[in-house]
Structure 1
Amino acid sequence: MWYNKVEVILMDGFNELGRILIFFGLFIAVLGAIIYFLGGNFAWFGNLPGDIKVEKGNFTFYFPLTTMIIISLIINILVRIFR
């Protein structure tokens, strides 16, 4: 019957979604462990020249421009290497 085919397609999609969610969960856990254990070693990151920080009274605006560019370059290099 046609509904058996739909069921198989849906189950394949759910299996793939489950794998993706597990991968991202592990990635976030590893990233959290790295930040937890090595957080003090990267205190300079986010306070680079070119990062914009405005403080006035009880208002603070922070725009990490240089940090975002560096992260973008690192991700771009990694994607090109593992592609």
Structure 2
Amino acid sequence: MNDFGKIMIVIGIVFVLIGLIWSLIGKLPGDITFKKGNVTFFFPIMTSIVVSIVLSLIFYILSKFR
């Protein structure tokens, strides 16, 4: 197996772990939720920031192996 295959396996395992932790936590502090009557508005700003940071780190690490 080449190095790229190993990197993809590690990234997959990291995503599974993040998904498990995320499902236990629910929503992050900083996510905005408005409820009024039957209407609910949810804006996951903190979740978006965390996902952006994680993806930036993954792409940075992948670029180092090129």
SS of residue in 1 equivalent to 2:40:
strand
Of structures 1 and 2, the larger Rg is shown by: 1
Q: CA RMSD in A?
A: 2.0
- TM-score, normalization by structure 1: 0.48
Q: How many residues align?
A: 46
Q: Which is helix-richer, 1 or 2?
A: 1
State, as a whole percentage, how many aligned pairs show the same letter. 35
Task: Structure 1: state its 5+ residue gaps.
Answer: 1-29
> 1:58 is aligned with what amino acid?
N
TM-score by length of 2: 0.60
Question: Out of 35, 52, 58, which is 1:78 matched to?
Answer: 58
Cα deviation per residue 1:37-60 (whole Å; 9 max; x = unaligned)?
Answer: x65x53324x11100000110000
Kindly report structure 1 stretches of 4+ aligned residues shifted beyond 2 Å. none
Extract unaligned runs of 5+ from structure 2: 1-11
